[in-house]
Amino acid sequence: MVLIASLVLFWTARHGYWEIVVAMALDGFGVGCVYAVNPLQITGGVPADETGSAMSFYQLVRTIAHSLASALSATVLIEAIPRGQRFPTDHGYRTAAALNTAILAVALAVSALFAARTRNPATHDRPALPQAT
């Protein structure tokens, strides 16, 4: 939610240097929180003998997501550079922020659905695996 707030701020308030600094500080705080919490969630949610594989998969997915997000943002901004100019238009920055906000909102909704499902075992539609004795 902090990342969404930073993007909404960047999307709507970029008229002064301090607004951009606040948006980027929020963004850094949000990314730092995600990077601090996700490994704890992973290690707490998988068996100890699968921790290495789970963390490796997390790193792979995180790297791919960064690459895709960077390429998508760069594409939007490059398309917003008027012919003969050096920088994107304000509309390009707003479009990139809106697109990234929408992606994060969908990710938040999906995460909330997964969290609700794991908190309420009655909603699981598959039978429980037998426990080893």
Instruction: Give the tens place of pLDDT for each residue, 76-125.
Output: 999 999 999 999 999 999 999 999 999 999 999 998 998 888 776 655 55
What would the two tokens of residue 92 be?
């390009």
Which pLDDT value is given to residue 45? 86
Q: Which domain holds residue 52?
A: 2-120
Mean pLDDT, rounded, for 10-18? 87
Is 11 within the bounds of a domain?
yes
Judge whether 42 and 55 are in contact, CB under 8 Å.
yes
Which pLDDT value is given to residue 129? 54
| Domain tally, the chain | 1
Q: What would the pLDDT profile of 19-55 be if each residue is shown by its tens digit?
A: 989 999 999 999 999 888 889 988 888 898 999 999 9
Q: How many whole angstroms separate alpha carbon 71 and alpha carbon 68?
A: 5
Is 126 within the bounds of a domain?
no
Which pLDDT value is given to residue 13? 86
Global pTM value:
0.73
Helix axes 17-45 and 2-12, enclosed angle (nearest 10)? 160
Which pLDDT value is given to residue 34? 87
Is 78 within the bounds of a domain?
yes
Residue with tokens 């921790």: 51
Torsion 38-95-86-74 (CA) sign: positive
Q: How many whole angstroms separate alpha carbon 1 and alpha carbon 78?
A: 27
Is 100 within the bounds of a domain?
yes
Helix axes 90-119 and 51-79, enclosed angle (nearest 10)? 150
Which pLDDT value is given to residue 11? 87
Judge whether 33 and 2 are in contact, CB under 8 Å.
yes
Is 125 within the bounds of a domain?
no
Is 69 within the bounds of a domain?
yes
Is 127 within the bounds of a domain?
no
